[in-house]
Amino acid sequence: MKKRIFWICLFFCFESFIACAQPTEPDGTVTLYLGWTPQFQFAGYIAAKELGYYEDAGIKVKLVTIDSAIVDDVSEVAKGTYQYGVATSAMLLANPDVYDVVTLAAIFQQSPVSLITLKSSGIRTLSDLRNKRVAIGNELKAMIVSAGVPLNSLQIDGKGTAFSNLLNHQYDAISYYITDKEFLLGNDSLNYRIFRPIEYGISFYGECLYTSKAELDTHPDRVEKMLKATMRGWHYAIDHPDSVVQMIIDRYQPGIAYSALMDEASTTINSLIIPSLFDLGDMQLSKWQATNDALYRLGVIKNEVDLGSFLYNRRSVEEGRLLKRMMTIVGIATGIVGVVLLLLLFYNRSLKKAVELRTKKLEEANLEMDQFVYSVSHDIRSPLSSIQGMVNLMRMDEGQVEQGLVLIEQSVRRLDGFTKDILDYSKNARADVHPENVNIKNLIDEITSEVQFSESNLAMQFIVEVEENLSIFIDRWRLTVILRNIISNAVKYRDREKTDSFVRISTEQKPGQIVLIIRDNGIGIGEQHLEHLFDMFYRANSSSNGSGLGLHIVKETVHSIDGHVQVESEEDVGTSLTVTLPSHTVA
């Protein structure tokens, strides 16, 4: 017993030693590295500092705006030079030290990173970037790939993003923050064309607050207080942008006019934070996973990041903190109550098993419902935020109205498609099966004609190798849902670099069964995604604008009519789905 108490005391001495070893300022001040000149981009942190919110939480905070000696601010936070930092999601995930940092909150729900060109360059679409000189980072690379433009067709430089490099024609297009309007105010904005990743289905988080894992492990209370005080500062900045702008001018002298900072505040709040649609600091696992997948496909990261340890989990931290506080008491009490606990555990073992058996299905249902509601809310809000962002952009630049209307229409169609997927999912789960004789070839012809009509200028061949009179006794609506989702996916994920894109649909007849095989030569699916492909809301392709429900609906619908579905795929080669259905009537 004495030996156990000795080791527990030694553990807490070691914890205290580690805590004292963390590199803070001599007076206990922690540093928050912003990495840029003070402007509304950092309004919440400035408000929390100047209004005393950090002090109210018992933390002394020093804001470091920019340090010319710092090359990699994420690495500096990871090794403890600074305790906290601000960076975009793409910057964090692509950094080699990503495994040593933890993201606390996503302040900007949309990234401010955009691509800007001079209209005089003749670049009207992203396809026009071929053979052009561009200064861009990973997020814009993902946008360009999503638009079907090979990166090797561009002359890419990750540096040289100064606005002057665009004006002097050193580059044809550069990376640009949509909040940095001070560069455009003195010029005619009609001379510029701006491309935002969100317009091409690339939705990354913008500025995020993050810290090191060492800081979280040794000072979990301070991390939580830092986060709460920061959120308080951002709430104030959103509600009182004029006061914070004046605060920035009076106390930080950024050399930016009041009107320019107010313009930045409007864009930051309405197009990036978007408080009307998102909770401040909200982080969706599915969105982080999509960013992770996009960077992985670009080859920027070699191994996908473990998001479970990369994203801050308040509950697990609180539980860990409570556990540490209770360790000494538990250690002393264990010897006294150990026998009693063992008896209780033995007695309750059978009861626990019975309860677990009964509640397992309920827990699974609750988990699926939580995931469903969480993902549905995000997938409905995402196109809405795109619409709102484009409306704000159109207000600022009348030259963007025509392009904005096209993109708004695309968002509305995306929302409409998602709604249809939800209705299909619900109907399949609730509606009775009503089998009838269905001519398979006629149904396939109807669906392919429908897809071709909805996709203008679709250069894709549909090869239907099905007997004219082949029929199956089946629920027609459900078979339509299955085929439409699979064929639509083949079209959506075709390889746009191939000139001979095709979908081949064939059948095989077996005793009591009909097998449908749908093959394509599209972009294919990586092996690491195949086992999750039929999961609800799973997106194997980071550029997907779909709901993530399509193949899950296929699986559930096939199962509802006593069939089964299999998939085979290879990246850059194509995909094959085999649907085996029972057949009681074959003509």
Instruction: State yes or no: pLDDT of 251 exceeds 60.
Output: yes
Which helix (DSSP H) or strand (DSSP E) does residue 3 occupy? helix 2-21
Name the least confident of 157-161, 406-410, 574-578.
Answer: 406-410
Q: Domain coordinates of the chain in residue numbers?
A: 2-107+206-312, 113-200, 315-409, 432-582
* Percentage of residues of the chain with pLDDT beyond 70: 68
For the domain spanning 432-582, the CATH number is 3.30.565.10
Distances 559 to 59, 425, 428 between C-alpha atoms, Å: 57, 13, 10
Report the distance separating Cα 198 and Cα 163, nearest Å: 22
Report the distance separating Cα 126 and Cα 151, nearest Å: 11
271 neighbors 389 (Cβ within 8 angstroms): yes
- When mean pLDDT is compared over 93-97, 224-228, 339-343, 349-353, the highest value belongs to 224-228
Report the distance separating Cα 552 and Cα 485, nearest Å: 10
Average pLDDT on 392-407 reads: 64
Phi-psi region of 449 (alpha: psi -120 to 50; beta: other; left: phi over 0): alpha
Provide the token pair at 567. Answer: 């998939």
At CA 483, angle to CA 478 and CA 487, rounded to 5?
A: 155
Query: Pairing mode, if any, of strands 461-465 and 502-510?
Result: parallel
In this structure, which topology does domain 2-107+206-312 adopt according to CATH?
D-Maltodextrin-Binding Protein; domain 2 (3.40.190)
At CA 19, angle to CA 16 and CA 23, rounded to 5?
A: 145
- Domain at 113-200, CATH from 3.40.50.970, 3.40.50.720, 3.20.20.70, 3.40.190.10: 3.40.190.10
**Side chain identity, residue 60:** K
Average pLDDT on 262-267 reads: 91
Report the distance separating Cα 176 and Cα 334, nearest Å: 61
Report the distance separating Cα 521 and Cα 341, nearest Å: 62
pTM: 0.57
Domains 2-107+206-312 and 113-200 share a fold: yes
At 380 the pLDDT is: 53
Measured in whole angstroms, how far is the alpha carbon of residue 349 from the centre of its chain? 42
379 neighbors 548 (Cβ within 8 angstroms): yes
Give residue-wise pLDDT tens across range 126-146: 999 999 999 998 899 999 988
Instruction: State yes or no: pLDDT of 17 exceeds 50.
Output: no
Report the distance separating Cα 387 and Cα 405, nearest Å: 9
47 neighbors 237 (Cβ within 8 angstroms): yes
